[in-house]
Amino acid sequence: MKAFAELLDRLVLTPQRNAKIRLLADYFREAGDPSRGYALAAIAGTLSLNTVKPQLIRDLLLERMDDVLFRYSYDYVGDLAETVSLVWEPPQERVAADIPLGEVVERLQMAGRSEVRSLVRDTLDQLDTSGRFAFLKLVTGGLRIGVSARLAKQALAEMGGKDVSEIETLWHGLTPPYLPLFLWLNGEADMPVLKTPAVFHAVMLATPVGEGDLAGLDPADFAAEWKWDGIRVQLANIGGVRRLYSRSGDEISGAFPEILEAADFTGVIDGELLVGGTARSNQATGTFADLQQRLNRKTVNRKMLEDYPAFIRGYDILFSGERDIRSEPFQTRREVLSAVIEAASPQHFDLSPLVPFSTWEELDRLRSNPPDPVIEGVMLKRLDSPYVAGRAKGPWFKWKREPFNIDAVLMYAQRGHGKRSSYYSDFTFGVWTESDGQTVLVPVGKAYFGFTDAELEILDRFVRDNTVERFGPVRAVRAEPDAGFVVEVAFEGLNRSTRHKSGVAMRFPRIARLRADKLPRDADRLETLQAMIEEKALR
């Protein structure tokens, strides 16, 4: 448990992705089985344990501790698991012999309802402070450490010198504590062969169209499709098992039962998950904000299903029936997909239409002025491209609509993390509006990338030299009509928001340019943003 507890403590405080991968990979290398497998499951969210209510933990503690002293302690620390881990005193001095995580998990899994209480007490007595914290977070189901399943898989790839797509392919066919997986990663066994093939297959990704990328390419070799603003998914129905996965391989079946139910064909398709209605049912496609109502839920109620019906707009097909057709050319796969969708439920599936074009200039015009507000650009796919996992340059391109741009005024800044911890690198910016007859700035977004290192130096210097107030880690900077800093902010979309004071929320805002040539009074007004939303709704 010590090694796992130390890993969690380090991960929580480590902001850099690569450093997290190294910490995880080192742990996976050194920890034994089955502990590392359970650790992986705990981090990736695949560990099922009988959870314990916080009240039980509190009761156990108060068997031994004065409640006033406990209250002082809890008020100070603010987190129950952390407080208990710190104040817990084993009954006598015992040499803290470490219990491996694997043993802790297996004891919990085997314990009957009536045994849980004493099991938790005994385990707390046998662990050290960090161990108790990790254990309490595990049993109360509150393990939040800022590591995605994807990152954990990347660490596994690093540990075993494998490609992450191989791990993705296996992932959903394996269960904790993942013994065959670690045997393979250690080079002690062959790649595991799965009994149920209904697993996630790493998706094919496109590269952005860069300057001059299209110059040497023949438009006749490519098909174009709209790039829809939903989430990319993979739907599998193989061997009687139906699953819906996000692009990164997280299973999201629970949130979209209607799609699983409607998937009565055998195979694996790739598409965009959207809400609203399919083109086949003649209804409008919902926005990303509508889709968000359905995301990140474990279950879904009837009203959600009615208000935000979900469907899949098919892009591609990987398996037709049980047959793997990924090596067939795009054109062939598209014909197969078209037939599958034609036969499937019209409320839940439609086919992503092709966009006819003959020159790049023509496509560029279409891309800049798409026929539906839920389109964020076009996709280009070579007609002869096989379906290859990963982001290879050449077969598929994405050509996004130009971003929106506004000029905004820097209002607040906060220090970054890791490499940037000595820089003010997280910025809140605002635009002008009228409030009680006065022209004031209202914050409209936050950005922490888009600038170069040299521009960051300039921004940082401005913040340090123009701080007017501090609120904990946040600094308010000078922002008056004739004194302040103007930045050009680029963003992908704009939605109405009731959570923000300004009433608007930006998607993917970033600082595109520093506008040292402009005064804050020249920055944009809130009405400009509001007009953008209305314009979009009309389009």
Interface residue list for another protein (CB under 8 A): 6, 9-10, 12-15, 19, 22-23, 26, 65-66, 68-70, 72-73, 76-79, 82-83, 86-87, 129, 415, 417-419, 421-423, 473
CA–CA distance, 127 with 185 (Å, rounded to integer):
30
Give the nearer residue to another protein in terms of CB position, either 283 or 421. 421
Give the nearer residue to another protein in terms of CB position, either 183 or 458. 458
What phi and psi values does residue 212 have, to the nearest 5 degrees? 80, 0
Give the nearer residue to another protein in terms of CB position, either 55 or 422. 422
Angle, helices 2-13 vs 17-30, to 10°: value is 170
- Shortest Å distance, C-beta 34 to another protein: 24
Please say whether the beta carbons of 505 and 497 come within 8 A: yes
- Alpha helices by DSSP H, listed for 65-142, are 67-77, 80-87, 101-110, 116-126, 129-139
Give the nearer residue to another protein in terms of CB position, either 288 or 423. 423
Give the nearer residue to another protein in terms of CB position, either 79 or 362. 79
Give the nearer residue to another protein in terms of CB position, either 35 or 83. 83
- Shortest Å distance, C-beta 174 to another protein: 28
CA–CA distance, 35 with 98 (Å, rounded to integer):
12
- Shortest Å distance, C-beta 29 to another protein: 11
- Shortest Å distance, C-beta 171 to another protein: 26
Reference 412, options 430, 433, 434; nearest CA is: 430
Give the nearer residue to another protein in terms of CB position, either 146 or 321. 146
Angle, helices 17-30 vs 35-44, to 10°: value is 150
> CA 39 from chain center: how many Å?
21
- Shortest Å distance, C-beta 42 to another protein: 17
- Shortest Å distance, C-beta 472 to another protein: 8
Reference 278, options 334, 343, 342, 349; nearest CA is: 349
Residue 180 pairs in a beta bridge with none
Distance (Å) of CA 204 to CA 114, 259, 391: 49, 22, 6
Give the nearer residue to another protein in terms of CB position, either 147 or 244. 147
CA–CA distance, 67 with 171 (Å, rounded to integer):
46
3-state secondary structure 375-391: EEEEEEEECCCCCCCEC
* DSSP per position, 457-520: HHHHHHHHHSEEEEETTEEEE--BTTBS-EEEEEESEEEE-SSSTTSEEEES-EEEEE-TTS-G
Residue 251 pairs in a beta bridge with 245
Exposed, middle or buried: residue 289 (CB in 10 Å: 0-12, 13-18, 19+)?
Answer: middle
Give the nearer residue to another protein in terms of CB position, either 222 or 423. 423
Give the nearer residue to another protein in terms of CB position, either 13 or 339. 13
Dihedral, CA of residue 74, residue 417, residue 249 and residue 507, to nearest 10: 100
- Shortest Å distance, C-beta 76 to another protein: 6
- Shortest Å distance, C-beta 510 to another protein: 22
- Shortest Å distance, C-beta 188 to another protein: 24
- Shortest Å distance, C-beta 476 to another protein: 18
